[in-house]
Amino acid sequence: QESVKLRNLRKEFDDVVAVNNIDLEVSAGEFVVLLGPSGCGKTTTLRMIAGLETPTSGTIVIGGQDVTTVPPQDRNLSMVFQSYALYPHLTIRENLEYPLRKMALSVDERSRKVNSVAEMLGIREHLDKKPDQLSGGQQQRVAIGRTIVREPRVFLMDEPLSNLDAKLRVETRAELQELQQDLGVTTVYVTHDQEEAMSIADRLVIMNEGRIEQTGTPKEIYEKPANTFVSGFVGEPAINLIDISKGWSRRLGGDVPSQAETIGIRPENLYVEGNVDSDVRESVDLSEPVSLTLDLIEPLGDTYELTLTDESDTLITVLSRAGRTLTEGTDVEVVADMSKVH
């Protein structure tokens, strides 16, 4: 269990600045997720921590030791990639043993470590099979097992679940989170999937164009986004970003500072008048109503996603439990939770 500190870390590839002087501290045992769009520098950051990429400038400190110039094999880190490559001709047991081959271990110790990891990942009964006899999810578990078996100081994971189908991805990420908590190993995990990041992280690091836009717990990032990029990148459906010059948004504005150009309101913090539950009405400070045209009603299980427009065709999304009582093409009054206007 070791901390990871990145200080003013930079990586240039020719004229591309992949990572633009980032500072980050990951505490011992923490599960930190780097989240951002494709090309924002997540993989490059991870590869620099692993030692697979040499920084242009800056330092990397792991467990108090400056490892910036230490070769990857001497850092005692483990990296899981999106495309897990198991050795097809080896059994699962042999695949799991592979990372231990260079360690001075007795046959007994080796087999004890492999059995314990296999137990932890629920793949014990598959130890004598070959990879192609296992499902994709089981194979990915073996790949994860291979990184655990060495008991590394830090786990580095680059989109480890993105090759799995949706159901398996959700299951495996819950298992991964549990495993990380049990082992208490400091983890830096990369994804571009905001839902995955929100559900798995102790702390999120939102990246954009090689920079860190904001770090915080999933709750902090969701409730107090630092800027429009962050607010638009987390939350599904996306936050409504409204130009403050539109007359009606000023009325919803609440405490928004007068120099603000854009306000953000999440779809679940807007309500259709006449359909506000009494508990909401009692506990929430609601804005003045604004008249909007209801263009589209889409059922999403127990809620509805409503798409509305104002006179100047600004699109507004509202998540509402009502929906069946509303009619597309009609005008409705919408109110906002004033405490949730950013």
- Which stretches of the chain bind Mg ion, using CB under 5 A? 43
**Residue 40 within binding range of ligand ADP, rule CB under 6 A:** yes
Q: Which of 340, 337, 341 is nearest to 277 (CA)?
A: 337
Per CB under 6 A, the list member of 22, 30, 35, 43 interacting with ligand ADP is 43
Q: Token digits for 68?
A: 């910036």
Nearer to ligand ADP, 18 or 284 (CB): 18
H/E element, 53: none
Instruction: Report which residue type is found at 108.
Output: D
Per CB under 6 A, the list member of 8, 16, 57, 178 interacting with ligand ADP is 16
Per CB under 6 A, the list member of 4, 26, 32, 42 interacting with ligand ADP is 42
Give the total of residues touching ligand ADP (CB under 6 A).
11
Minimum distance, C-beta of residue 40 to ligand ADP, in the bound complex (Å): 4
Nearer to ligand ADP, 210 or 216 (CB): 210
Per CB under 6 A, the list member of 6, 30, 44, 191 interacting with ligand ADP is 44
Whether 127 and 95 have beta carbons less than 8 Å apart is answered as no
């769009």: which residue's tokens? 37
Nearer to ligand ADP, 210 or 289 (CB): 210
Q: d(Cα 115, Cα 125) in Å, to the nearest integer?
A: 10
Minimum distance, C-beta of residue 149 to ligand ADP, in the bound complex (Å): 26
H/E element, 140: helix 136-148
H/E element, 33: strand 31-35
Contact window for ligand ADP (CB under 6 A) among 32-40, 90-98, 177-185, 278-286: 32-40
Q: What angle do CA 50, 52, 58 make, to 5 degrees?
A: 75
Phi and psi, residue 26, nearest 5°: -110, 120
**Residue 39 within binding range of ligand ADP, rule CB under 6 A:** yes
Minimum distance, C-beta of residue 111 to ligand ADP, in the bound complex (Å): 37
Q: At what angle do helices 166-183 and 136-148 cross, to 10 degrees?
A: 20
Minimum distance, C-beta of residue 43 to Mg ion, in the bound complex (Å): 3
- Interacting residues with ligand ADP (CB under 6 A): 13, 16, 18, 36, 38-44
